[in-house]
Structure 1
Amino acid sequence: MIETLEAYAIELGPVWSAFIATSFTWMVTALGASLVFFFKEIKRSVFDTLLGFTGGVMIAASFWSLLAPSIKHAESQFPTASWIPAAVGFLAGGLFIFALDKFMPHLHINFNKEESEGVATKWHKSTLLLLAITLHNIPEGLAIGILFGAASMGMEGASITAAIALAIGIGIQNFPEGMAVAMPLRRNGASRRKSFWYGQLSAAVEPVAGVIGAFSVIYMQNILPYALSFAAGAMIFVVVEEVIPETQRDKYTDLAVLGFMAGFTLMMILDVALG
């Protein structure tokens, strides 16, 4: 199965491969949001566990799929300091999301309207919630696109199978993200259709970010190791600033940690076994 997908990706090229892979992660988000047609809410214990799982996948992907290939590739450019591109790109990625976090109005999932972040606005809570998940999804799409582009350039440590594994891992953790937007909206009185629409829309940015990521490394090959670590830094910022705090606001913190460990383990297995 993986060999077939790899051959198909090579035939399509990195940009189309990135687009299809990120469209897959978008569709999985929509699948998670579709549960709103069958349930009005989800138990908080289950929600926190799934959210923790999301964080675990993102942390593991940041190292095995992004930082490790960045360092490996940089060894030829910086034999005695291969950490330079990884460190610079990592910090730049975190600062990029930090800037978006400060200026883009948004509201984290388990927070009250008064706790919204970014520029002050009178936008509805559902809009702020959608923007928060959209912010979350930008680095995920970038990571997939950049890895497909890096693999197409023959970058040491990067491969098509690793990019496919990353897309599968992010797709799996996008399922609870779709629920994370749709369920609160439904619980607060929105219709099933509207709740689903906003839930799936939160991941629509991933194909856009994926294509941008693939294009950037194809046409600017010198930034390859920086681009990989940039995506890693962006994802780590999201996990530490957004995902983890949202799982620690009630009594199910232990379940959230176990979910985190499960997600980390799954992504590690996917990347090591397939990448």
Structure 2
Amino acid sequence: MITLAELTDLFFSLGPVTQSLFGGLFTYTLTALGASLVFFTREINYKLLDAMMGFAAGVMIAASFWSLLVPAIDMAAAQGIIEWLPAVIGFLSGGIFLRVCDAYLPHLHIGLPVEEAEGLPTSWRRATLLVLAITLHNIPEGLAIGVLFGAAASGIEAAGGATVMGAVTLAIGIGIQNFPEGTAVSMPLRREGLSVGKSFWYGQLSGIVEPISAVIGAAAVLMIQPILPYALAFAAGAMIYVVIEELIPESQIRGNTDIATLGTMLGFTIMMILDVALG
């Protein structure tokens, strides 16, 4: 029987693209597990859901800083670039990219009627629009995992602050916050009359983009190493855009402001502990 230590050594011996694939598959699995709750109940406790959405926001805020921006700044210094410049360019570019996607990709935020769908006008069903909303902010999460694994393998990790353990920590944090996202898609669809199977299918579908974008992120930075600090900051900017534009408003739309805020603080604290202790 293979021990946990042997599995760990095997994982660390893999190439960064393969590591990114496994990291993305891990976060996808957590999304699917969250969606699987629909097999056991069709009711949803919205206070708990809002707390979980707030928790997800806190995880993403902490991950954006400790796992992405700090290594981007350290890496720029190691490359002899003005330390803050790649972080500023990448961070703002990530936000602008998500804004453009937000403006054109049809999607619907959780808890809103289909008439309030954003993006280009479409006749797509509510389920499709909900999945696209979650998928939109799963893309930068997957990219962040891939870019960090790529950065760790770049050969300048000691000076740049990016390590394989830091990338693993990021994947763990994103996976934890993906659990409520799967639930947040599948449960409302079940309550609206979709079958259990279809509700689960749509819930897990939103996470499948993460292993794909993780592999793309790792491959891109390995081929063009000078973009590493920009890519790290880009992922951070995209994630912060998602937090402010989607997660925090959605966690408070039903009036559960206090519990959602406490959830955000708890998520931030746990991700900070993971990143400092393990990263």
- TM (normalized to structure 2)? 0.95
For 1:50, give the aligned amino acid.
Answer: M
Gaps of 5+ in 2: none
Q: Which residue of 2 aligns with 1:122?
A: 123
Which of 212, 216, 220 is equivalent to 2:216? 212
Residue 235 of structure 1 pairs with residue 239 of structure 2: yes
Structure 1 distance, partners of 2:260, 2:200, is 25
How far, CA to CA, are the matches of 2:179 and 2:42 in structure 1?
16
Matched, 1:200 2:201: no
Aligned-pair CA distance for 1:4:
5.4
Alignment of 1:60-79 (within 5 A): 60-78=62-80
The CA distance in 1 between the partners of 2:100 and 2:133, in whole Å, is: 14
1:267 is aligned to 271
Name the stretch that deviates more: 150-159 or 219-228.
150-159
Q: Equivalents in 1 of 2:174, 2:139: separation in Å?
A: 12
Displacement of 1:110 in angstroms is 1.3
Kindly report which structure 2 residues correspond to 1:161-200, keeping only aligned pairs within 5 A, or say none: 161-200=165-204
Superposed displacement of residue 8, structure 1? 2.5
Instruction: Supply the distance in 1 between the matched residues of 2:51 and 2:206 (Cα, whole angstroms).
Output: 20
Q: Which residue of 2 aligns with 1:145?
A: 146
Q: CA deviation at 1:9?
A: 3.0
Identity %: 60
Aligned-partner Cα distance in 2 for 1:205–1:241: 20
Cα separation, 2, equivalents of 1:162 and 1:257:
26
Partner of 1:56: 58
Query: Which residue of 2 is the match for residue 258 of structure 1?
Result: 262
Q: Is the 8 A contact 1:6 1:160 kept in 2?
A: no
Q: How has the CA–CA distance of structure 1 residues 223 and 137 changed in structure 2, closer, same or farther, with 3 Å as cutoff?
A: same
The equivalent residue for 1:39 is 41
Please give the alpha-carbon distance, in whole angstroms, between the structure 1 residues aligned to 2:137 and 2:112. 15
Partner of 1:245: 249
Query: In 1, Cα distance between the equivalents of 2:267 and 2:175?
Result: 12
Q: How many residues align?
A: 274
* 1:78 CA drift (Å): 4.0
TM-score scaled by length of structure 1: 0.97
Query: SS of the residue aligned with 1:111?
Result: coil
Distance (whole Å) between structure 2 residues aligned to residue 4 and residue 97 of structure 1: 40
Q: Is the 8 A contact 1:106 1:131 kept in 2?
A: yes
Q: Deviations over 1:55-94 (max 9, x none)?
A: 0000100000000000011113346x30000000001111
Secondary structure at the counterpart of residue 120 of structure 2: coil
Cα distance in 1, alignment partners of residues 216 and 232 from structure 2: 13
Q: Which amino acid aligns with 1:186?
A: R
Q: SS state of the match for residue 103, structure 2?
A: helix
Partners in 1 of 2:8 and 2:231 — Cα distance? Answer: 22
Q: For 1:107 and 1:4, how far apart are their aligned partners in 2?
A: 44
- State how far apart, in whole Å, the 1-side matches of 2:205 and 2:137 are: 13
Task: Output aligned runs, 1:3-18, within 5 Å.
Answer: 7-18=9-20
Provide structure 1 residue ranges, at least 5 long, that are not aligned to the other structure.
none
Cα distance in 1, alignment partners of residues 78 and 27 from structure 2: 33
- Judge conservation of contact 1:6–1:161 (CA < 8 Å) in 2: no
> What amino acid does structure 1 have at the position aligned with 2:232?
L
Deviation at 1:5, TM superposition (A): 5.8
